[in-house]
Amino acid sequence: MNSMLVACSSSTPPARLESALCARTLHRQNRAFRGTGGVSAENRTQGFVPAFLDTETGTVYRACFADGRPAPMHLLDGLPPAVVAARDATGRITALKPTVQAGFLRAERFYTRAQAAAQVGH
């Protein structure tokens, strides 16, 4: 859903803002997919877990807390440096590479938010 990607923070360099995935983007995606099954709270019971796909490498990352524990929602904190585009002054991730998209894992397969919503069928 590239149309939903937005500028992240004023501390992120302008060249990286155009298509960076950030907390604001995730919030907007959650609003857009609320009620469809394309958000964690609505598809968890059907075996979906929040994840991120790096479309450049094909690598899927399970959403995790900063300490590595699996997270019940999309969080930036637990992602590896390979997908990070920007950090704030304290080192927290503020933006991901433009090639990273939020979605879900189920049975070792990645689903976009739209694909998960179609599977849930709200």
Q: What is the pLDDT of residues 95-116, one digit of tens each?
A: 999 999 999 999 999 999 999 9
Predicted pLDDT of residue 121: 82
As a whole number of angstroms, the distance between CA 90 and CA 70 comes to 23
3-class state of residue 5 by DSSP? coil
Find, among 73, 77, 63, 80, the residue nearest to 42 by Cα.
73
Q: pLDDT at residue 40 above 60? A: yes
Read off the pLDDT of residues 5-29 as tens digits, 9 standing for 90 and up. 334 544 444 444 457 899 999 999 9
* Percent above pLDDT 90 for the chain: 82
As a whole number of angstroms, the distance between CA 6 and CA 19 comes to 6
